[in-house]
Amino acid sequence: MDKYREKLVELVQDHGAKLWIVIIGIMVVISGYFLWPQSVASSENQQQVTQPVSPKSQPIHQKGMLKKTFVVEVKGAVQRPGVYHLPPGTRCETLIQQAGGFTPTADQRQVNLAKKLLDQESLYVPAQGETKAITMPTGGGSEQPSEPINLNEADVTKLQQIDGVGAKKAEKIVAYRQAHGEFKSVDDLKNVAGFGVKTVAKLKDNLTI
The pLDDT tens digits of the residues spanning 118-170 come to 888 888 888 888 755 555 554 444 444 457 888 888 888 888 888 788 889 99
H-helix segments, 51-145: 62-65, 92-98
CA dist 133 and 127 (Å) reads 9
Give residue-wise pLDDT tens across range 36-48: 656 555 555 555 5
Q: Where are the domains of the chain?
A: 66-137, 149-208
Q: Which fold does the domain 66-137 belong to in CATH?
A: Ubiquitin-like (UB roll) (3.10.20)
Ranges assigned E (strand) in the chain: 70-76, 82-86, 121-125, 134-137, 149-150, 207-208
Distance spanning both ends of the chain, measured CA to CA: 123
Can you give the pLDDT at residue 164? 80
Q: Among the CATH numbers 3.30.2290.10, 1.10.150.280, 3.40.50.10860, 1.10.150.120, which is that of 149-208?
A: 1.10.150.280
Give residue-wise pLDDT tens across range 62-87: 444 445 888 999 988 999 999 999 99
pTM: 0.37
Max mean pLDDT among 35-39, 87-91, 204-208 falls in 87-91
Question: Do 66-137 and 149-208 agree at the fold level?
Answer: no
Can you give the pLDDT at residue 100? 95
Closest CA relative to residue 95, chosen from 81, 110, 107: 81
- Within 10 angstroms of residue 145's Cβ, the number of other Cβ atoms is 15
